[in-house]
Structure 1
Amino acid sequence: MEWAESATRSVHATWAVTFVSFLFLVLKLGVRYRVTRSLGWDDFFVVASWIVTLPLALVINFQAAHGMGHHSKELSTEDLSAQTRWFWASIWVYLLALGLSKMSILLQYHRIFVGKRTVLTIKLTFAFIVMWTTQAVLVSILQCVPVESFWDRSMKGKCINAVASYYANASLNILTDFIIIGLPIPVLNQLHISSGQRFGLAFAFAIGGAGCIISLVRLSTVANALKKGDPGYANSEPSMWSAIEVSVCIICACLPSLRPLLVRLMAAVGITSSRDATSHPSHIRSRIAQRNWGNSAGVDRLGSGKDMVDIDELELQDSKDQRIKIDTTVEVTSTMESSRQSRKSEGGESNDALVPDGRWYQAQVSNGR
Structure 2
Amino acid sequence: MPSADLLRQLLANPPDPFEPLPLSNRKETIYGSIIPFTIVAWIAVVLRLNVRFRVLREPGWDDFFVVLSAICMTVATVTTLRAVTYGLGKHFIYIGLENTSSYLLSFYISNSMYITNTALIKISLLLQYLRIFKAGTMRWVCLALLGIISLWGIAYSFMSWFPCFPPSLYWDSKLATNTCYGYGFKDTESFVAIYMSHTVLNMAFDIAVFLTPMVLFREPNLRKKNVLAMTGVFLFGAVVVFTSIWRLYTISSSRAPTHPYIDFTWWSPISIILSSLEIDLAIMCASIPIFWPVIEKSLAQIFVTREVRVTEHRRLDDEQGLAYELEHNHKMGMERSASLKSDGGQSRESLTREVSHSSGNEASVGGGRGGGDDLGRHYKDHYVVAQVDPLALENGSTGMRGIETNVNSGPKPKWRL
CA root-mean-square deviation: 3.0
**In the alignment, what sits opposite 1:140?**
160
**In the alignment, what sits opposite 1:37?**
57
Change (3 A) 1:147 1:336: closer
Change (3 A) 1:182 1:74: same
Deviations 1:295-319 (A, max 9, x none): xxxxxxxxxxxxxxxxxxxxxxxxx
Shift of 1:26: 0.9
**In the alignment, what sits opposite 1:309?**
none
The residue correspondences of 1:140-179 to structure 2 (distance < 5 A) are 140-154=160-174, 155-157=176-178, 158-160=180-182, 161-179=190-208
Shift of 1:219: 1.8
- Supply the AA of the counterpart residue of 1:84: L
1:92 matched to 2:92? The reply is no
Greater strand fraction, Structure 1 or Structure 2: 1
The 2-side partners of 1:361 and 1:133 are apart by: 52
Shift of 1:269: 4.3
The one of 31, 37, 60 equivalent to 1:11 is 31
1:227 matched to 2:259? The reply is yes
Q: TM-score, normalised by structure 2?
A: 0.63
Residues 84-93 or 160-169, more deviating:
84-93
The 2-side partners of 1:239 and 1:360 are apart by: 60
- Where in structure 2 are there 5+ consecutive unaligned residues? 1-20, 183-189, 310-390, 398-402
Deviations 1:74-119 (A, max 9, x none): 1211212221222122221101122211111111110122241111
The 1-side partners of 2:147 and 2:209 are apart by: 13
- Supply the AA of the counterpart residue of 2:197: A
**In the alignment, what sits opposite 1:367?**
412
**In the alignment, what sits opposite 1:267?**
300
Greater helix fraction, Structure 1 or Structure 2: 2
The 2-side partners of 1:203 and 1:124 are apart by: 26
Equivalent pair of 2:30/2:273 in contact (CA under 8 Å):
yes
1:208 matched to 2:240? The reply is no
Equivalent pair of 1:11/1:240 in contact (CA under 8 Å):
no
**In the alignment, what sits opposite 1:245?**
278
* Greater C-alpha Rg: 2
Q: Secondary structure at the match of 2:274?
A: helix
Shift of 1:248: 0.7
The residue correspondences of 1:1-369 to structure 2 (distance < 5 A) are 6-154=26-174, 155-157=176-178, 158-160=180-182, 161-193=190-222, 195=224, 197-205=226-234, 207-223=236-252, 224=254, 225-228=257-260, 229-271=262-304, 338=396, 367-369=412-414
Number of residues of Structure 1 aligned to a counterpart in Structure 2? 293
Shift of 1:144: 3.2
Q: Percent identity?
A: 24
- Where in structure 1 are there 5+ consecutive unaligned residues? 283-332, 340-357
- Supply the AA of the counterpart residue of 1:41: W
The 2-side partners of 1:179 and 1:243 are apart by: 20
Deviations 1:291-348 (A, max 9, x none): xxxxxxxxxxxxxxxxxxxxxxxxxxxxxxxxxxxxxxxxxx9x86859xxxxxxxxx
